Amino acid sequence: MTDTPHHAPQPSGAGASTITALTTPDDTAKAVVIYSGGMDSYTVLHRALRAGFDVHALSFHYGQRHSRELETASQVCQQLGVAHQVVDIRAIHGLIGNSALTDADRDMPGGDYDADNMTATVVPNRNMILLSLAIGHAINIGANVCFYGAHGGDHVLYPDCRPEFVEGVNAVAAIADFNPVRVAAPYLHSSKQDILADGLSLGLDYAQTWTCYLGGEYACGQCGSCRERLAAFAAQGVDDPLTYAAPGKMS
């Protein structure tokens, strides 16, 4: 699949309107996108490209239990011809390793994506760390916008995906350097289903994403991330193009 940055009609919805607001004459052409390889950041990446930005994608290896998302991100950026760096920050693993996403000795919780059973997947202060590095990179290359894929479904579980966090980090980014950088979360008030609907309207191929918290040959279909993804596809009446492990088995 290939894509060429161009201006395209923006669909309605909170996510799309945020990106539209950022594509003003005051904005530089360059933008940094924190790109994990998952479906949220994949959609953000394409939205930024469609809005006309010269995108510089950043992926981070911070000690995740697997690298499937990072491999997927690299493949997509190579196909699109998007500048992409995978930044190895595994040295900080000992500082933020108290999470089921980074500690292979901990059981990965299954079930629906909510605070009751998914708290173990919180990586302490992750987005603050990643955004700090992305903002520095933006200043370095002359970009003044950093995109990341926080969305409404994350608010109850991940503190660094809430609107007040985005507001706070924007206030800091505006004064951290003499070249202010804005942090944009285009889907901050949108659901996973909304994000998928927006991506499908662009004709995006979600086989080019990896969502599962585990890194097996197939997506497990049981972790909260898989279940939220599957629910979004079901709500849209569309089959998920990923292959899932047999029921009852975690890959």
Beta-bridge partners for 32: 56, 146
d(CA 40, CA 118): 18
Name the H helices within the chain: 14-22, 39-50, 68-80, 93-96, 115-118, 126-141, 163-173, 192-201, 224-236
Helices (H) and strands (E) in the chain, counts: 9, 5
Residue 92 has phi, psi (to 5 degrees) of -90, 5
Nearest Cα neighbor of 220 from 195, 196, 242, 235 is 242
Residue with tokens 């939220």: 228
d(CA 72, CA 175): 34
**What's the per-residue H, E or C state across 191-219?**
CHHHHHHHHHHCCCCHHHCCCCCCCCCCE
Binding-site residues from annotation: 35-45, 212, 220, 223, 226
- Map residue 244 onto helix, strand or coil: strand
Binding-site residues from annotation for ATP: 35-45
Binding-site residues from annotation for Zn(2+): 212, 220, 223, 226
